[in-house]
Amino acid sequence: MPVNERLRRAFHRSGLDIGGLAEASGVSTKSVERWIAGSTPHPRTRYRVAAILQEDESYLWPGAVDGASLAGAELVATYPRRSDVPRHLWTELLRAAERDVCLLAYAGLWLTEEHADWMPTLAAKARAGARVRLLLGAPDGAQLAARDSEYQIGGGVAGRAAAVTAYYQQQMPPEVEIRLHDTPLYNSIYRFDDELLVNAHVYGILAAHTPVMHFRRMDGAYFHTYVESYERVWASARPLAGREQT
């Protein structure tokens, strides 16, 4: 059997040795050695080991996990309108995030206006070492002009984008990365580590009245699609003038 290199690397990254992983998993060192050599543990043990190593079962043992079942499990909840998302969920997910907080929107001004904890918590996360990235619409871009025309609100979208950009510019520490994009926005994306809230956009209807999907990364079938989209926009966007960017 081929060596399970993914498992071996995962437990080394976690700081554990074979004995430490065996103790944490409640098995013998011989069992861990067999896993590294290519054997597959029982489902309950796989789940426990994946949790200890903070990896997905499907990554550690790709041949043993039902991908279709995991893909379906990624969808946590759906809401017919953004206004139907439980109000507390946005800030709860933000408070729980430790590694990645990513926002992709044209403005998202409602987050700063309706959630008093949003700005200070976002700043605190960045100062504590999380990577915080904000992708906002370029107020002078063609896409915001097109969205204004679609909504027929006479420059309101560009005005909101300019306002929220200035607000983040003033309130966020330099650790927060901000870029301006001029891409068609099919979805607004809000990432909190392994959780995603995706606000679908529907032609002619304000985003507050369109569906939101809540995903939690399992095998990544849904999750990675939106993360890849985010990274493509990030790569094409321009850093906000006057901020230190990494």
Tens digit of each residue's pLDDT (9 = 90 or more) over 43-55 = 888 888 888 887 8
97 in Cβ contact with 130 (< 8 Å): yes
Q: Quick one: pLDDT at residue 235?
A: 94
Closest to 38 measured CA to CA, from 14, 62, 15: 62
Q: What is the dihedral of CA 13, 19, 22, 28, to 10 degrees?
A: 150
Q: Quick one: pLDDT at residue 72?
A: 62
Tens digit of each residue's pLDDT (9 = 90 or more) over 63-98 = 776 555 555 668 889 999 999 999 999 999 999 999
**What's the chain's average pLDDT?**
87
